[in-house]
Amino acid sequence: MGVPEVINLAEKLASFSDHWNPRRIARYNGNELRVAKVRGEFTWHAHSETDELFLVMAGELGIAFRDGVRRFGPGELVIVPRGTEHKPFAEEECHLLLIDREGEPNTGDTPSQLTRETLEDI
Protein backbone atom coordinates (compact mmCIF):
# COMPACT_ATOMS: atom_id res chain seq x y z
CA MET A 1 0.00 0.00 0.00
CA GLY A 2 2.78 2.44 0.82
CA VAL A 3 2.76 5.89 2.29
CA PRO A 4 -0.10 8.21 1.19
CA GLU A 5 0.69 11.12 -1.08
CA VAL A 6 0.71 14.66 0.33
CA ILE A 7 -1.38 16.97 -1.86
CA ASN A 8 -0.39 20.64 -1.95
CA LEU A 9 -3.53 22.59 -2.85
CA ALA A 10 -1.65 25.81 -3.67
CA GLU A 11 0.56 23.94 -6.16
CA LYS A 12 -2.47 22.30 -7.77
CA LEU A 13 -4.25 25.65 -8.12
CA ALA A 14 -1.11 27.30 -9.53
CA SER A 15 -1.01 24.74 -12.36
CA PHE A 16 -3.95 26.28 -14.29
CA SER A 17 -5.58 29.67 -14.84
CA ASP A 18 -8.99 29.12 -16.47
CA HIS A 19 -12.29 29.57 -14.66
CA TRP A 20 -15.22 27.20 -14.04
CA ASN A 21 -13.16 24.16 -15.11
CA PRO A 22 -12.63 22.00 -12.00
CA ARG A 23 -9.70 19.59 -11.83
CA ARG A 24 -9.77 16.31 -9.92
CA ILE A 25 -6.96 16.04 -7.37
CA ALA A 26 -7.98 12.89 -5.46
CA ARG A 27 -10.66 10.27 -4.94
CA TYR A 28 -11.84 8.66 -1.70
CA ASN A 29 -14.85 6.56 -0.62
CA GLY A 30 -16.74 7.23 -3.86
CA ASN A 31 -16.06 10.97 -3.75
CA GLU A 32 -13.83 13.29 -5.72
CA LEU A 33 -11.80 16.19 -4.39
CA ARG A 34 -11.71 18.94 -6.99
CA VAL A 35 -10.07 22.35 -7.17
CA ALA A 36 -11.33 25.22 -9.29
CA LYS A 37 -10.81 28.88 -9.97
CA VAL A 38 -14.03 30.81 -10.53
CA ARG A 39 -14.96 34.31 -11.58
CA GLY A 40 -18.25 35.67 -12.87
CA GLU A 41 -21.47 33.67 -12.80
CA PHE A 42 -22.11 29.96 -13.16
CA THR A 43 -25.47 28.53 -14.26
CA TRP A 44 -28.51 27.58 -12.17
CA HIS A 45 -28.34 23.85 -11.49
CA ALA A 46 -29.04 21.11 -8.94
CA HIS A 47 -27.61 17.70 -8.08
CA SER A 48 -30.64 15.45 -7.46
CA GLU A 49 -28.73 12.49 -5.99
CA THR A 50 -25.91 14.06 -3.97
CA ASP A 51 -24.87 16.95 -1.75
CA GLU A 52 -22.06 19.28 -2.89
CA LEU A 53 -19.40 20.90 -0.70
CA PHE A 54 -17.78 24.26 -1.53
CA LEU A 55 -14.75 25.33 0.56
CA VAL A 56 -13.28 28.76 -0.21
CA MET A 57 -9.50 28.83 -0.10
CA ALA A 58 -8.99 32.37 -1.47
CA GLY A 59 -11.35 35.17 -2.44
CA GLU A 60 -15.08 35.29 -1.83
CA LEU A 61 -17.81 33.05 -3.24
CA GLY A 62 -21.49 33.77 -3.44
CA ILE A 63 -24.12 31.14 -4.03
CA ALA A 64 -27.60 32.24 -5.04
CA PHE A 65 -30.45 30.02 -3.89
CA ARG A 66 -34.11 30.45 -4.81
CA ASP A 67 -34.70 31.78 -1.25
CA GLY A 68 -31.63 34.01 -0.86
CA VAL A 69 -27.86 34.33 -1.19
CA ARG A 70 -24.93 33.12 0.90
CA ARG A 71 -21.49 34.75 0.67
CA PHE A 72 -18.43 33.24 2.29
CA GLY A 73 -14.66 33.60 2.31
CA PRO A 74 -11.39 31.79 3.02
CA GLY A 75 -11.70 28.91 5.46
CA GLU A 76 -15.50 28.85 5.20
CA LEU A 77 -17.62 26.23 3.49
CA VAL A 78 -21.19 25.58 2.45
CA ILE A 79 -22.77 22.21 1.82
CA VAL A 80 -25.55 22.44 -0.76
CA PRO A 81 -28.12 19.72 -0.04
CA ARG A 82 -29.08 17.35 -2.84
CA GLY A 83 -31.85 18.65 -5.07
CA THR A 84 -31.26 22.31 -4.10
CA GLU A 85 -31.07 24.71 -7.04
CA HIS A 86 -28.06 26.99 -6.77
CA LYS A 87 -25.97 29.40 -8.84
CA PRO A 88 -22.40 30.11 -7.71
CA PHE A 89 -20.77 33.46 -8.54
CA ALA A 90 -17.67 35.48 -7.70
CA GLU A 91 -17.02 39.14 -8.48
CA GLU A 92 -13.24 38.57 -8.26
CA GLU A 93 -11.27 35.36 -8.76
CA CYS A 94 -12.00 32.79 -6.06
CA HIS A 95 -10.18 29.50 -5.39
CA LEU A 96 -12.27 26.53 -4.29
CA LEU A 97 -11.97 23.00 -3.01
CA LEU A 98 -15.06 21.01 -4.02
CA ILE A 99 -16.22 17.59 -2.91
CA ASP A 100 -18.60 15.80 -5.24
CA ARG A 101 -19.71 12.24 -5.75
CA GLU A 102 -17.40 10.41 -8.14
CA GLY A 103 -18.43 11.07 -11.74
CA GLU A 104 -20.98 13.76 -10.80
CA PRO A 105 -21.20 16.41 -13.56
CA ASN A 106 -20.20 19.90 -12.44
CA THR A 107 -23.60 21.17 -13.65
CA GLY A 108 -25.54 18.35 -11.99
CA ASP A 109 -28.85 17.61 -13.69
CA THR A 110 -28.74 20.76 -15.85
CA PRO A 111 -26.24 20.53 -18.72
CA SER A 112 -24.99 23.86 -20.09
CA GLN A 113 -22.07 25.41 -21.96
CA LEU A 114 -20.13 25.12 -18.66
CA THR A 115 -20.59 21.35 -18.31
CA ARG A 116 -17.29 19.46 -18.21
CA GLU A 117 -17.89 15.93 -19.54
CA THR A 118 -14.55 14.69 -18.22
CA LEU A 119 -12.37 16.26 -15.57
CA GLU A 120 -8.62 16.53 -15.87
CA ASP A 121 -6.61 14.79 -13.15
CA ILE A 122 -3.82 16.95 -11.79
User: Hey, what domains does the chain have and what are their CATH numbers?
Assistant: 9-121 (2.60.120.10)
Which residues of 1-122 form beta strands (DSSP E)?
A: 23-28, 31-41, 52-58, 61-65, 68-72, 77-80, 86-101, 120-121
Per-residue pLDDT band for 109 (boundaries 50, 70, 90) equals confident
* pLDDT tens track for 47-67: 999 999 999 999 999 999 999
Pairing relationship of beta strands 86-101 and 31-41 according to DSSP bridges: antiparallel
- Total residue count of the chain as it appears in this document: 122
pLDDT of residue 92 exceeding 90, the answer is yes
User: What pTM value is reported for the model?
Assistant: 0.92
Distance separating alpha carbons of residues 24 and 99, to the nearest angstrom: 10
As a whole number of angstroms, the distance between CA 85 and CA 104 comes to: 15
